[in-house]
Amino acid sequence: MPDETLPESDPSSRFPIPERALRLGVAGPVGTGKSSLIALICRELAGESSLGVITNDIYTDEDARFLRSAGVLDPERIRAVETGACPHTAIRDDITANLMAVEDLESDFSPLDMVLVESGGDNLTATFSPALVDAQIFVLDVAGGGDVARKGGPGIARADLLVVNKTDLAPHVGVDVALMVADGRAARDGRPVLALSRTDRESVASLTEWVRGLLLAFRSGVHVAIDPGPMAPHSHPEPAGAAVLRSHSVGSGQHDDQAHDDRAPEDGAHHHSYR
Ligand SMILES: Nc1nc2c(ncn2[C@@H]2O[C@H](COP(=O)(O)OP(=O)(O)OP(=O)(O)O)[C@@H](O)[C@H]2O)c(=O)[nH]1
Ligand SMILES: [Mg+2]
């Protein structure tokens, strides 16, 4: 007998079941293990799901090459977007090149279950736009120092999953993994934190389970994409060598330059090409 205290379920109150692939972003500082984590996910899930990968590199397609050579996925399913000197712009404000790359992959290998998008290695402030990805993982590693998780930032605080990577190195760099994970949890209002090492099978299984759960939630229309928020003002070198402090206004694709060098071509740092 139906429970009359509950409102009748309204099918229109659920999200429509998506027809495209889940788009999962992987961001984090340089060298924390983003490509390796993507390789792990591909190795574990390629047998049961149809996957594709987009990498974002500043000047090269190094990450795509690394992933192709890892042999975890058909090399054709791994494509690179070259972002120029401002990799965070290509995943946050001016996402056209990435969206085109994702959509091309989806149509070339239809039906795809999931496209993983690796951001260019950056600092603690980089986050994906929810217009590009449905969910995002932020990757730190113990080699970056045990106190990094305390430093916060939108990715650490609000990514769907925070990974503390390379835990096998912790004894060598004097980091207390449990404390680093606890710091991450404290910064995240209960959102999940995963201690990971590619040498620790149990941690790899936990990562795989998290991704499976996300895929299931996405497919059943109950996953809600969260915007971790815009990146903080930051600086990076222009091609002419002058550092420019920028704040990205959300969604506009515009920059506010706080300091400027006339030698730097206005669009030189933000050219994105896709191949
Ligand atoms: N010890 C250890 N090393 C790891 C682990 N995962 C990745 N690495 C190493 O960390 C280094 C950087 O890994 P990548 O996966 O290239 O890191 P990334 O974040 O993609 O780097 P960028 O794209 O250049 O920012 C490589 O030498 C990896 O072999 C791990 O679990 N344990
Ligand atoms: Mg990489």
Whether 254 maps to a domain, the answer reads yes
Bridge-based pairing of strands 22-27 and 135-141 is parallel
**Cα Rg of the chain, angstroms:** 19
Domain finish residue from 220, 238, 255:
220
> 89 with 248: CB under 8 angstroms?
yes
Ligand 1 within 6 A of CB of 36: yes
Give the model's pLDDT for residue 17.
61
Task: Kindly give the distance from the C-alpha atom of residue 37 to the centroid of ligand 1, in angstroms, as a whole number.
Answer: 8
DSSP state of 196: -
Of all ligands present, the nearest one to the C-alpha of 87 is 1
Q: Does the beta carbon of 168 lie inside 6 Å of ligand 1?
A: yes
Residue 16: pLDDT band (50, 70, 90) is low
CATH of the domain at 106: 3.40.50.300
Q: Which atom of ligand 1 is nearest the CA belonging to 39?
A: 15
Assess whether pLDDT exceeds 80 at residue 268: no
Pair 71, 147 in one domain: yes
What spacing in Å lies between the alpha carbon of 198 and ligand 1's midpoint? 10
Structure confidence at residue 82 as a pLDDT band (50, 70, 90): confident
Q: Is the pLDDT of residue 234 over 60?
A: no
**Domain range for residue 251?**
230-275
Find the mean pLDDT for residues 168-186.
97
Query: Which candidate, 160, 147, 153, 146, places its Cα nearest to that of 207?
Result: 160
Which residues neighbour 252 within 8 Å (Cβ) at sequence distance 6 or greater? 93
Regarding whether 240 and 194 lie in a shared domain, the answer is no
Please identify, by atom number, the ligand 1 atom nearest to the C-alpha of residue 38: 15
168 and 47 fall within a common domain: yes
- Find out whether the beta carbon of 130 lies less than 6 Å from any atom of ligand 1: no
Ligand 2 center from residue 166 Cα (angstroms): 14
Q: Strand, coil or helix: what is 126?
A: coil
3-12, 129-138, 258-267: which is most confident: 129-138
Q: Is residue 266 part of a domain?
A: yes
Question: How many angstroms does the Cα of residue 31 sit away from the middle of ligand 2?
Answer: 7
Is 204 within a domain?
yes
Q: Greater confidence, 262 or 215? A: 215
Residues 208 and 252 grouped into a single domain: no
Q: Enter the pTM of the model.
A: 0.82
Residues 40 and 121 in one domain: yes
pLDDT for residue 151: 87
CA distance 119 to 159: 13
The reply to whether ligand 1 has any atom less than 6 angstroms from the CB of 121 is yes
Residue scoring higher pLDDT (15 or 186):
186
pLDDT tens string 95-150 = 999 999 999 999 999 999 999 999 987 778 889 999 999 999 999 999 999 999 99
DSSP H stretches of helix in 188-271? 201-219
Q: Judge if 197 and 267 occupy the same domain.
A: no
Domain total in the chain: 2
pLDDT, one tens digit per residue, over 18-64 is 689 999 999 999 999 999 999 999 999 999 999 999 999 887 889 99
DSSP string, 16-78: PPP-S-EEEEEE-BTTSSHHHHHHHHHHHHTTTS-EEEEEEESS--HHHHHHHHHTSS-GGGE
Judge whether residue 249 has pLDDT over 90: no
Pair 189, 81 in one domain: yes
Q: Do 148 and 124 touch, CB atoms closer than 8 A?
A: yes
Using CA atoms, how far apart are residues 123 and 236, in angstroms rounded to an integer?
A: 10
Confidence at 252, pLDDT banded by 50, 70, 90:
very low
Least confident window among 7-11, 50-54, 132-136, 226-230: 7-11
> Of the given ranges (74-88, 89-103, 199-213, 228-242), which has the lowest mean pLDDT?
228-242
Q: Give the whole-angstrom CA distance, residue 263 versus residue 260.
A: 9
pLDDT value of position 184: 96
The reply to whether 24 falls in a domain is yes
Are 167 and 202 within one domain?
Answer: yes
Which of 26, 32, 35, 36 has the most ligand 1 atoms within 8 A of CB, as the residue to mutate? 36
**Average per-residue pLDDT for the chain:** 83
- Nearest residue (by CA) to ligand 1, atom 12, is 31
> What confidence score (pLDDT) does residue 6 get?
46
